[in-house]
Amino acid sequence: MLSKFDYVKPTSLEEALRYIKDKDGVKLLAGGTDLMISLRHNVVDVKHIIDIKDIPETKIMKHTPGEGVFIGASITVNQIAQSKIIKEKYPALVEGSDFLASYQLRNRATLVGNICNASPGADLAPSLLLYDSIVSVASPNGNREININEFFTGVKKTILQKDEIVLGVLLPEVQKKDKSTYLKQSRLKGHDLATVGVAIRVDSDNNIYIAMAAVAPTPIRLLKLEEAIKTKGLNSETAQWIEKEVPNYIKPISDVRSSAQYRLHAASVLAKQGLTKLIEERVV
């Protein structure tokens, strides 16, 4: 049985900010795929639900040359997966989108909802981390931008304040030779949370970026490993080396989905596979 709450659907950002000001127990609704489950099981205390889908700023998905692609908070995961510009520039995000739940859920689920839920195994977070994506946030006190690397603060926790609304995410512009991929290991194909998720990117200067899900309390970027890679070069030897090095940079736990030891192994293998794939794509 659902708890009782007020429901509003503002048609402007100003209206939403007026409503959210000085209120406790507020939850924002875009796709609602996570929120509805939480409500059904009474695991969240909700007094007010603000449906943001009619706020114009949240419905934007736009590429600005030289700046990047902005994805609004109401844009669904299937819209992302089917976007020509995102397929061309940010393939890891498309692959992560295809891995998320089922096709039907992806018609409702949103990128912003996925990161605001802040699951350690979020499929879309690692791809955003690869690009130093920027989260655009509004509140009654003004707007701010948050680098995605600072966004996650713990299991199911973010840096957001209670009166802030995420408007969308900007993926910075990439060069033509930029390549990326997302690989996932899970118990069930296509419908389960990640046992391990690995995103890898090689930019036009052959710099390598690595981010992972389900190997720490939050999705993480492996900055120290990236630094160690710089002297290695983009070759098959580096891919072999990464497989051995990954366990030194992550601290997974054991839970109902997997043992920590298996996660260490899976993360290593996926990192090698992902980098090998990108190396082959650059050669072709």
pLDDT tier at 273, thresholds 50, 70, 90: very high
- Chain segment 29-86, per-residue pLDDT in tens: 888 777 777 777 677 778 999 999 999 999 999 999 999 999 999 999 999 999 999 9
pLDDT tier at 274, thresholds 50, 70, 90: very high
Confidence (pLDDT) at 113: 93
- Those residues whose C-beta lies under 8 Å from the C-beta of residue 183, and which sit 6 or more positions away, are 95, 197, 198, 199, 270, 273, 274
Confidence (pLDDT) at 2: 65
**What is the Cα–Cα distance from 105 to 111, expressed in whole angstroms?**
12
Confidence (pLDDT) at 1: 57
How far, in whole angstroms, is CA 130 from its chain's centroid? 10
- Residues, the chain: 284
Average pLDDT over residues 230-250: 95
Handedness of CA 108, 113, 115, 118 (dihedral sign): negative
Q: Is the pLDDT of residue 17 over 80?
A: yes
Domains and CATH numbers, the chain: 6-51 (3.30.43), 56-172 (3.30.465.10), 179-283 (3.30.390.50)
- Chain segment 85-114, per-residue pLDDT in tens: 999 999 999 999 998 877 788 888 999 999
Could you tell me the CA-to-CA distances from 189 to 98, 110, 120, 275 in Å, in that order? 11, 20, 19, 22
Confidence (pLDDT) at 45: 78
- What is the pTM assigned to this prediction? 0.93
**What is the Cα–Cα distance from 198 to 181, expressed in whole angstroms?**
8
Of 12-21, 134-143, 186-195, 248-257, the least confident: 186-195
